[in-house]
A and B are shown apart, each in its own frame.
Chain A
Amino acid sequence: GESVGLHLPTLSVQEGDNSIINCAYSNSASDYFIWYKQESGKGPQFIIDIRSNMDKRQGQRVTVLLNKTVKHLSLQIAATQPGDSAVYFCAEGEYNFNKFYFGSGTKLNVKP
């Protein structure tokens, strides 16, 4: 499968600060990207997605940015809370094929 990697394996932030989690992807044909949150003992939980015809998409407290030129995407979490502590994965894929390949994951630790 395609190689999807992350710049930072762990990230520690203070409660209330903003968090930025980065992801690089390798397949220029990928046109759909998803961020997942995985808490211990649970399956990945969908956070937000973005198609390649967009470079920014906002959700509740989260924003995903896509830079197709350098094949990079990021997840920004505003006002990070202790409940945000988890491992975050980006996934890339080709929307019509409906299957996705995952990056290595970033563990987010939120300090109270």
Chain B
Amino acid sequence: SAVISQKPSRDICQRGTSLTIQCQVDSQVTMMFWYRQQPGQSLTLIATANQGSEATYESGFVIDKFPISRPNLTFSTLTVSNMSPEDSSIYLCSVVSGTDTQYFGPGTRLTVL
């Protein structure tokens, strides 16, 4: 399985600021996704990060709030813009490689004050 790392692992941010989370994979992967996991809850898919084109967002998520980049087959970023306390969550990167299954990174724990 692919080895996935995320930076930062955690952060505490002020309301109104933005944070960019990085996801790095140790091998080229077909698909990359971003999920949000609010405290004590399940995972919600934010978007599919498409290599070389705009991300595909799920219902309830928009590019202005969660801009995503994927410049190549091993790296993606998610930005949480104009943050509010409601954005406090764990943000998770996941990947699918070929016909393999979906694997997750360790997550980024975000607290917004």
Contacts and interface: CB of A to CB of B under 8 A. Distances in A.
Main SS of the interface on chain B?
A: strand
A46 B42 contact: no
A102 B1 CA distance: 21
Interface in A82-108: 89, 91, 98-105
Nearest to A42: B106
Contacts of A1: 44-45, 58-59
B73 interface: no
B63 to A, nearest CB: 17
A99 B101 CA distance: 10
Interface residues on A, range: 20 to 34
Contacts of B41: 104-105
B30 A44 contact: no
Main SS of the interface on chain A?
A: strand
A1 B46 CA distance: 10
Nearest to A105: B42
15 contacts: A1-B44, A1-B58, A41-B109, A43-B4, A46-B1, A46-B101, A46-B102, A89-B42, A91-B43, A98-B31, A98-B102, A102-B35, A102-B42, A102-B43, A104-B41
Interface of B: 1, 4, 30-31, 33, 35, 41-45, 48, 58-59, 92, 96, 101-107, 109
Interface of A: 1, 34, 36, 41-46, 49, 89, 91, 98-105
